[in-house]
Amino acid sequence: MSTNVEHIECLIVGSGPAGYTAAIYAARADLKPVMYAGMQPGGQLTITTDVENYPGYPEGIMGPEMMELFRKQAERFGTDIRYGMITSVDFSGKPPFKLIADENHEILADTVIIATGASAKWLGIPSEEKLNGRGVSACAVCDGFFFRGKDVAIVGAGDTACEEASYLAKICSKVYMIVRRNEFRASKAMVNRVMNTPNIEVLFESETDEILGEDKVTGARLKNTKTGELKEIAISGFFVAIGHHPNTDIFKGFLDMDETGYLKTIPGTSKTNIEAVFACGDAQDKIYRQAVTAAGSGCMAALDAERYLAAKQDA
Ligand code: NDP
């Protein structure tokens, strides 16, 4: 073992609302947490604009600013925040577990809190990137409100797309659902809900050729996947709901995950299948995915880690 090994009581991997909340609680419990904040500190909220549904901010707050406040609060209680990546882990055997940061720094951690989040999948067309935050969004619950009374479109045919289309239909005048095949992937109940909502129009066998607009979304050009025919729709908002990818690849082979990579935790706790390893936030939640639920689960993870360490000390 190299002389470079660092012993850490509580290592937090990831820095969204879940990671920072875990850090606040762990630091206040004197676990001397060290956080590896990743390459995009603050996570998904740093790419959103106004956050209006997080309690405590009656006027709303910008996502990046909110994450800055979370970071300051975590630092105030002594969290050691490092701008780097955990690049490999070894959860075999018993804790403390060996992890490698930034390819060459060895860490031995008594407890590990995983808060690596998930990333929204995007279509990958240039206009989507250009208009991101200017009418293009991957979160209807976050941004739907800005399109009250307007026409919008949503791409996807899974449960998320159906749920978000139903949500948008309550706020917007009209919701176009852009579905690439001639059928849904979502559960029957969700599909029924969509089909029975008068202001949702499902456009089957359609893909997005281009999102239109210079400074903000004004429309979309769709292509029929069978005939190649192009058609334009006038919209103010364009939502992408084609799935998320949890950032859990480095834990494969050690932690139990579902078929899409979301970490499994014991219901009602943040405990994974490995002793001393806890998971919180979007890395283990594909259903709610809200800043406030992520923060709540980060609190759970820190409390579980603290109790684990206390029980070990008593043993
Ligand atoms: P899914 O992977 O289930 O669905 C993704 C959808 O996006 C599919 O319909 C897919 O089309 C479509 N899609 C993928 N790529 C593209 C593309 N490039 N262009 C156009 N369309 C594309 O993701 P979800 O986020 O909907 O759901 C993830 C999991 O979470 C599922 O297991 C779901 O059941 C669960 N969930 C449950 C909820 C609940 O129970 N309340 C709520 C939300 C999610 P295609 O069908 O053609 O492949």
Q: Give the CATH number, domain containing residue 284.
A: 3.50.50.60
Do 17 and 73 belong to one domain?
yes
| Spacing, Cα 136 to ligand 1 middle (Å) | 18
Please give the tally of structural domains in the chain. Answer: 2
282 noted as active-site residue: no
| Spacing, Cα 138 to ligand 1 middle (Å) | 13
Do 186 and 259 belong to one domain?
no
Spatial distance between the Cα atoms of 122 and 244, rounded to a whole number of angstroms: 9
Mean per-residue pLDDT, 204-219: 98
C-alpha separations of 114 from 9, 146, 157, 246, 278 in Å: 14, 33, 30, 12, 6
Mutate to test the pocket of ligand 1, among 180, 193, 205 (most ligand atoms within 8 A of CB): 180
Query: From the candidates 10, 30, 110, 142, which is the catalytic residue?
Result: 142
Do 165 and 310 belong to one domain?
no
Q: For residue 141, name the pLDDT band (cuts at 50, 70, 90).
A: confident
Do 78 and 37 belong to one domain?
yes
Which of 215, 240, 265 is at the close of a domain? Answer: 240
Q: What is the DSSP secondary structure assignment for residue 134, as one 8-state letter? A: T
Spatial distance between the Cα atoms of 190 and 188, rounded to a whole number of angstroms: 5
Do 102 and 212 belong to one domain?
no
3-state secondary structure 17-59: HHHHHHHHHHHHCCCCCEEECCCCCCHHHHHCCEECCCCCCCC
Do 303 and 199 belong to one domain?
no
Who contacts 215 (Cβ-Cβ below 8 Å, separation ≥6)? 134
Encoding tokens for residue 233? Answer: 């729709």
| Spacing, Cα 47 to ligand 1 middle (Å) | 21
Query: From the candidates 30, 50, 102, 139, which is the catalytic residue?
Result: 139
Which of 212, 240, 268 is at the close of a domain? Answer: 240
pTM for the complete prediction? 0.79
| Spacing, Cα 305 to ligand 1 middle (Å) | 33
139 noted as active-site residue: yes
Do 99 and 132 belong to one domain?
no
pLDDT tens-digit profile of 6-30? 999 999 999 999 999 999 999 999 9
Is residue 47 predicted with pLDDT exceeding 70?
no
Using the Cα atoms of residue 267, residue 273, residue 275 and residue 281 in order, give the sign of their dihedral: negative
Do 214 and 172 belong to one domain?
yes
Nearest-CA residue for atom 7 of ligand 1:
242
Do 13 and 96 belong to one domain?
yes
Q: For residue 65, name the pLDDT band (cuts at 50, 70, 90).
A: very high
C-alpha separations of 2 from 9, 11, 87 in Å: 19, 19, 17
Which pLDDT value is given to residue 50? 74
Is residue 2 predicted with pLDDT exceeding 60?
no
Is residue 1 predicted with pLDDT exceeding 50?
no
Do 80 and 25 belong to one domain?
yes
Mutate to test the pocket of ligand 1, among 122, 154, 159 (most ligand atoms within 8 A of CB): 159
pLDDT tens-digit profile of 71-80? 999 999 999 9
Query: From the candidates 110, 143, 151, 282, which is the catalytic residue?
Result: 143
Mean per-residue pLDDT, 193-214: 98
Do 233 and 265 belong to one domain?
no
Spatial distance between the Cα atoms of 28 and 275, rounded to a whole number of angstroms: 22
162 noted as active-site residue: no
Contact 18, 302 (CB under 8 A): no
Backbone φ and ψ of 36, nearest 5° = -95, 110
Do 200 and 152 belong to one domain?
yes
pLDDT tens-digit profile of 284-298? 999 998 999 999 999
Q: Which residues line ligand 1 (CB under 6 A)?
A: 123, 155-161, 163, 180-181, 185, 242-244, 286-287
Backbone φ and ψ of 193, nearest 5° = -60, -45
Residue 124 CA: nearest ligand 1 atom is 18
Q: For residue 3, name the pLDDT band (cuts at 50, 70, 90).
A: low
Which of 240, 261, 280 is at the close of a domain? Answer: 240
Determine which helix (DSSP H) or strand (DSSP E) holds 165, and give its type and residue range: helix 159-171
Contact 119, 245 (CB under 8 A): yes
Domain residues for the domain of 158 are: 122-240
Spatial distance between the Cα atoms of 30 and 17, rounded to a whole number of angstroms: 20
| Spacing, Cα 221 to ligand 1 middle (Å) | 22
